[in-house]
Structure 1
Amino acid sequence: MLELSHIDKSYGERKVLDDVSFQVAPGRMTGFVGGNGAGKTTTMRILLGVLAANAGTVTLDGTPLTPEDRRRFGYMPEERGLYPKMRVEEQLVYLARLHGFTTHAAKRNAGELLERLGLGERRNDALESLSLGNQQRAQIAAALVHDPDVLVLDEPFSGLDPMAVDVVVGVLSEFAADGSPVLFSSHQLDIVERLCDDLVIIAGGRIRASGSRESLREAHAGNRYELLTAADTGWLRERPGISVVDFDGGYALFDADDAQAAQAVLREALTLGDVTSFAPLRPTLAQIFKEVIQ
């Protein structure tokens, strides 16, 4: 378990992180989302020891992180940091050797990762000759080549086309499935929603919401429902405790004062014709994000 507790960070009079606390559980993908300047990168840099917090602690399994602990982390910064003129595989082998791997083990890890990330045929190319998307894949390989225990990725999907996203998602999911905590930030909320198990939303340097994806969707669901039926739904406008948001023929989107009012709608609809579907409307991550940062 990776845990940040009551982290504060200021630059002079400007406070950029204010009592930031959240957990990254083992074997789970945690999405860290927020707008530009919200504090995501600063939080990650403190987690990695690149920056010092003014207050608070970062622990792994309840023990404060040491420099040796952080050597077991894999990190991908938002800014590309590899050597542009160095060959891709040579670079990965070099990074693995810095973490104590033998040359043989480093070459094995590098080769396997390049194949899994679709870069096998480009292993002997200079990094600068690759497309921006393939450079991003190489950067992800660099974060993984030393078999880290914890993975921290800042905007890992930036510049990737949909097929490349699927490849990277598969590799990261396998890593998490082995029991490691994974924290990643992204502006692409549709990818975060599809990939993550847990969510942390930050705005203005403060954590605005955190928890499992489903618990957050449940907490912000409200009492909005969708109804699809064979009969016209205009009658809903006259129902007590119901506020119609939209309707068109047999389709209706409405808010109910409570669950009992919603169930009364379902009972009435069944007396008027076949009901194709009736369900509470769960908000998307984008909708939850807009709600909590306002």
Structure 2
Amino acid sequence: MSKILELQALRKYYATQKAVDDISFSIEKGSIFGLLGPNGAGKTTLLRMITGIFYPDMGEIVFDGQKFDPLNDIQQIGYMPEERGLYKKMKIGEQALYLAQLKGLSKAEAMQKIKFWFKKLEMETWWNKKVEDLSKGMSQKLQFVTTVLHEPKLIILDEPFSGLDPLNANLIKDEIFGLAQRGSTIIFSTHRMEQVEEICDHIVLVNLGKKVLDGSVSGIKQSFKENKFSIKLQGEQMNANNPAFTILEEKQGGYVLKINEGFQSNDILAHFLQQGVTIEAFNEILPSLNEIFIRLVEGSNAKTRSFQQVD
């Protein structure tokens, strides 16, 4: 798969602070990519360099196979910042039309696409409302529409679910999947790790201006696993005296085990099967991205780690 974006050794300094310190990664076309990190990690600076708002002090950005040219390439990028980027006194319909034309659409084409998106996101009755009269969630839906309606190659969404109720969050999530399926590439920046696990194919974690984690979601979770398994036996009590595993806790009628060094999961299964015990459930427990995030960020000297897809 070809790459839509490549960041090569990017650096950005503010006085003595290294906001972005030698960060490199690439994003495949049609993927949903998670850019993660705590507050002050350098995420916003990275996004502003990708959108041409800031220029890197060192390094290079390659967009769709060519050196990034903000003046021309920005038409192929949609950016939804976390802070509101809307004109409060303008009517919603007029604002959407104005922003669409700024992105190069004709008035007729813009009107067609706006009506399509307003109907899709149940915003048809909002046309004459002013932005200042919208709730946070309604503003978020409008900002999402103005970001994607010109069908950019690269869509950057910074905390896109902020202020949305669960119903509208699911509506936007489905549209994100649909945009990726139709060929757009999504950069998704958020603090909500459960959303990242559900949505993203690949993630990069930055901390203190440096990249500390880079890989597929499944590959990263596999790489941080700790040989923990949940097991439920039919009508049997677990014997704790077994060299193959250690019982960590009893949980909901079953047990959480850690397989000891030198043994494998098949050894556990074989042990109970030989005893004639019926196993109702046996599942590996993988760490959540939230657990991995906390583990790496809490250690401020974490080194870069890269992981590939694990099937």
- Please say whether Structure 1 and Structure 2 have the same fold, judged by a TM-score greater than 0.5: yes
Aligned equivalent of 1:152: 156
1:238: which partner in 2?
241
Deviation at 1:248, TM superposition (A): 4.9
What letter is aligned with 1:209?
Answer: L
Decide which moves more: 166-175 or 225-234. 225-234
Residue matched to 1:264? 267
| 1:117 Cα deviation after fit | 2.1
State the distance in 1 between where 2:216 and 2:252 align. Answer: 36
Deviations 1:1-42 (A, max 9, x none): 211121111111111111111222111111111111111111
Identity %: 31
Q: 1:173 to 1:18 in 2, by over 3 A?
A: same
TM-score under structure 2 length normalisation: 0.89
Secondary structure of the equivalent of 1:214? helix
Measured in 2, the distance between the counterparts of 1:3 and 1:273 equals: 54
Which one of the candidate residues 50, 57, 79 is aligned to 2:83? 79
Q: How does 1:95-106 map to 2 (within 5 A)?
A: 95-106=99-110
How far apart in 2 are the matches of 1:224 and 1:143? 43
Contact 1:75 1:143 in 2 (8 A): yes
Instruction: State which of 88, 93, 99 in structure 1 corresponds to 2:92.
Output: 88
Change in Cα spacing, 1:280 to 1:259, as seen in structure 2 (3 Å) is farther
Which protein is richer in helix relative to its size? 1
- 1:228 matched to 2:232? The reply is yes
Q: State the secondary structure of the residue aligned to 1:109.
A: helix
State the number of aligned residues.
293
SS across alignment from 1:4: strand
| SS of aligned partner of 1:43 | helix
Note the residue ranges of structure 1 that are not aligned, 5 or more in a row: none
> 2:54 and 2:121 mapped to 1: Cα distance?
31
Q: Deviation per CA, 1:92-112, whole angstroms, max 9, x where unpaired?
A: 111111222111100011111
Rounded Cα–Cα distance in structure 1 between residues aligned with 2:19 and 2:246 = 41
Shift of 1:258: 4.6
Greater shift, 258-267 or 98-107, is seen at 258-267
Would you say the 8 A contact 1:95–1:145 is kept in 2?
Answer: no
Quote how far apart the aligned CAs of 1:249 are: 8.2
Give the drift of 1:290. Answer: 1.5
- 2:193 is matched with which residue: 189, 195, 217? 189
TM-score, L = length of structure 1: 0.94
What is the rounded CA distance, in whole Å, between the counterparts of 1:250 and 1:157 in structure 2? 36
Equivalent position amino acid for 1:100 in 2: G
Verify the 8 A CA contact 2:244 2:268 in the aligned structure 1: no
1:175-233: CA deviation from partner (whole Å, max 9, x where unpaired)? 11112211010111111211111111111111111211111111112311111111434
Partner Cα separation in structure 2 for residue 149 and residue 249 of structure 1: 47
In the alignment, residue 184 of structure 2 is paired with which amino acid? S
Q: Is the 8 A contact 1:116 1:171 kept in 2?
A: no
Q: What is the CA-CA distance between 1:260 and the residue it aligns to? A: 3.3
1:259 Cα shift?
Answer: 7.3
- From 208, 211, 214, the counterpart of 2:215: 211
Contact 2:236 2:277 in 1 (8 A): no
1:80 maps to a residue whose letter is R
> Aligned-pair distance for 1:280?
1.4
Q: Which residue of 2 is the match for residue 252 of structure 1?
A: 255
Which of these residues, 123, 126, 134, is aligned with residue 122 of structure 1?
Answer: 126
2:230 is paired with a residue whose SS is strand
The answer as to whether partners of 1:77 and 1:154 remain within 8 angstroms in 2 is: yes
2:29 alignment counterpart? 26
- CA distance in 2 between partners of 1:7 and 1:289 (Å): 23
2:179 equivalent in structure 1: 175
Higher mean alpha-carbon deviation, 5-14 vs 73-82, is at 5-14
Aligned twin of 2:144: 140
1:278 CA drift (Å): 0.9
Residues 229-273 of structure 1: per-residue CA shift (max 9 Å, x gap)? 1143431x2111422211258511111135734322212223242
Whether the 8 Å CA contact 2:80–2:160 is kept in 1: the answer is yes
What displacement does 1:65 show? 0.6
- Tell me, what secondary structure is at the counterpart of 1:238? coil
Helix, strand or coil for the counterpart of 2:30?
coil
